[in-house]
Amino acid sequence: MTYRLIKEFTFDAAHNLVNYKGKCEHLHGHTYRLQVTVEGEKSEETGMVCDFGDLKQLVQTHVIEKLDHAYLNDIVPLSTAENLAAWIAKVLDAPLKEKNLRLVRLVLWETPGSAVELLLS
């Protein structure tokens, strides 16, 4: 059997959209909401795929600490929601594999009503 674990995070960050004409070309900020879905096999010994606390720490260390209260254009020059989601997926790939987990879905809300979904399965 394969199980999927889902964990959500929030972070605040600023950016501006380059090569774009409109109000978002100017510096502004968002409170982002990130949902990470991983897949893995349940351990017979622990009865878990992964401890939620371990998953939280992994995402916190590799993503949230880098993005929270940052100017996103310094990290992802074309800092659209799509490009941020792709960057997050790339950053999480190796650390998740070390835990025998695979990222299968990532949702990044830029505003409460606007999100990008990245499916990796």
Catalytic residue among 8, 25, 28, 69: 69
In the set 8, 24, 41, 65, the catalytic residue is 24
Centre a 10 Å sphere on the Cβ of residue 88 and count the other Cβ atoms it contains: 23
50 is catalytic: no
- Known catalytic residue: 26? no
User: Closest by alpha carbon to 68, among 114, 32, 28?
Assistant: 32
Catalytic residue numbers read 24, 69, 110
